[in-house]
Structure 1
């Protein structure tokens, strides 16, 4: 329809999936189904307490969204801790949870878009009984919750063009959990930016040192210049025919000149060398 606009929102998406559901159904259908119902009830309870809402529960999966990133994480941690504490055997329900903060399309009570897809891919990377979050979520919670996330690197996930930074929280203490390898392309980019930051810091520190040297020079110049001016005035008013102030002023002038060369000489020398290099390079032209 003409003029119809797509409704969108920024939200925190939770995607959860039950570990080994098909295998558990083969072993004990009734108990597995009952475990799934109990787990769904737990998710529903904690999500509502945290201000979120269930979007869908397809099969053994759960999709929800939250207006608050912090509450979404708190809810995920609470759910996983309760499930981990209640585990008694291999048929006890265990989940992986993925969290992502992203822009989604709203269609009725459902949501769609890359924000949802990324949360689903992160769920697949999460440790069993733990949580995997995107870089967008981590940026919002890193200073608000004292949780130890393991950086998994920049992950190339299915149907998503850009790599996604992933962080894992292993609440169940699964020693077999292995983090996925980070994208080599992203590693190189991250190293480049880190190096650029270091070089930028070095350049800024050098500029600060130069400014301090120049400020020190001017602080030393003022009293010496004042003394020379005072001697000159005394000389003019007492014996204008003989300029004796030159003799005490000369060593002070030499000190000022040497100090100025030390402070300003190297900077101008470096600038001249660079300018001269560029001139010769332009004259020579390309090889």
Structure 2
């Protein structure tokens, strides 16, 4: 598990002494939770913490307990003073040297923490596979993410926090009961639900795009630029944006199809010393 404070620099610039005191207090909470779940704090530097667990179930439960406790403590503070952590969890091989641990297993956890939502928990595929049927939690699949210093995209899942962890079957049953009850309003459009779905879609797209290489982001930006310009000048009656966007679309296809295929072939070739 890797944990890190969101917007730590801004908190330090605003109130250095108060931020340091709060960081010590919150780390004490994390240390206590870690001990309860048979974990070991491996390293701390700046505002980051790396914790090792012998059980992936204990790791995820510890992360949930930490975020819930810190959420309670933050609720008593002004918004400007709230200290929220992002947590990433990965299950993988590690190398041990003294009291420290190294390897891709640790690197992936650190990168998952970087793309985790503020106050949230991001899991790798290996963690999700172990806990999905064993814990009363909800999970949001966010798809493959290209993270720094990791060759292949990492499949990611966000833990649903804030009381949204009820099993889907219970929610479905409740909705069915409400639909059959007298005076039901199920015939009206559920605008809040639709709006939330759209917002979640935009958020997932934003995270995916942020995790892509710069050339991919540039191509998507140019295609979007031409599309918006098309809408402003011609509406949808004439879709001329396709032609100036074509070179950028070809570059995207090359990156996602040909480029990855060549990378996969290259990884299978024998390497010299």
TM bracket, shorter-chain basis: 0.5 to 0.7
How far apart in 2 are the matches of 1:155 and 1:35? 32
| Residue 159 (structure 1) aligns with | 149
| Residue 14 (structure 2) aligns with | 27
Contact 2:139 2:157 in 1 (8 A): yes
Contact 1:130 1:172 in 2 (8 A): no
Shift of 1:49: 0.9
How far apart in 2 are the matches of 1:58 and 1:121? 16
How far apart in 2 are the matches of 1:131 and 1:98? 6
1:68 maps onto 2:55 in alignment = yes
1:141 maps onto 2:131 in alignment = yes
| Residue 89 (structure 1) aligns with | 78
Shift of 1:92: 2.1
How far apart in 1 are the matches of 2:28 and 2:73? 14
How far apart in 2 are the matches of 1:63 and 1:118? 12
How far apart in 2 are the matches of 1:165 and 1:82? 28
1:102 match: secondary structure? coil
Deviation digits for residues 135-189 of structure 1 (CA, Å, limit 9, x no counterpart):
000000000012111111011111111211000124258x88723228899x99x
Q: Give the alignment's Cα RMSD to 1 decimal.
A: 2.4
| Residue 114 (structure 1) aligns with | 104
How far apart in 1 are the matches of 2:78 and 2:38? 32
Contact 1:129 1:172 in 2 (8 A): no
How far apart in 2 are the matches of 1:142 and 1:67? 18
1:36 match: secondary structure? helix
Contact 1:127 1:170 in 2 (8 A): no
Which has more radius of gyration?
A: 1
Tell me, which stretches of 5 or more residues in structure 2 are unaligned? 164-195, 213-251, 258-273
The one of 205, 208, 212 aligned to 1:181: 208
1:46 match: secondary structure? helix
How far apart in 2 are the matches of 1:52 and 1:169? 20
| Residue 45 (structure 1) aligns with | 32
Contact 1:128 1:172 in 2 (8 A): no
Contact 2:137 2:160 in 1 (8 A): no
The runs of at least 4 consecutive aligned structure 1 residues that moved more than 3 Å come to 182-185
